[in-house]
Structure 1
Amino acid sequence: MLTITQALHDQIVAHSRADHPDEACGVVAGPAGTGRPERFIPMLNAARSPTFYEFDSGDL
């Protein structure tokens, strides 16, 4: 199980609220093999849909 910091949690929630009512998505990342999440990378929903998520190719 991963444990995230309050700061990461707050970033995820802020991103989700900003994209509401559309689906929101992002990546929680950290050093490989450590199991330590250290940063949140917000992704754009290219579909702009409340029920479907599509990665923006510019984010990949």
Structure 2
Amino acid sequence: MLTITQTLYDQIVAHSRADHPDEACGVVAGPAGTDRPERFIPMLNAARSPTFYEFD
């Protein structure tokens, strides 16, 4: 099971709220072979759409 810290969770929620009402996305990353991600990398929705996500 993937387990994330409260800090990581807060970063994901903050990114989602900042992009609202557009679709939000990001990468949760950590060391290979572990189930403990260490960072969140927010991505920009190039489509700027509430129903579609596009990145370039």
CA distance in 1, matches of 2:8, 2:38: 8
Cα distance in 2 for partners of 1:36, 1:12 equals: 15
TM-score after normalising by structure 1? 0.89
1:21 is matched with 21
Count of residue pairs the alignment pairs up: 55
The Cα shift of 1:36 comes to 1.4
For residues 5 and 36 of structure 1, the distance between their equivalents in structure 2, rounded to whole angstroms, comes to 9
* Cα distance in 1, alignment partners of residues 13 and 46 from structure 2: 19
Identity %: 95
Divergent runs of 4+, >2 A? none
Residue 35 of structure 1 and its aligned partner are, at CA, apart by 1.8
After superposition, the CA RMSD in angstroms is 0.5
Structure 1: runs of 5+ lacking an equivalent: 56-60
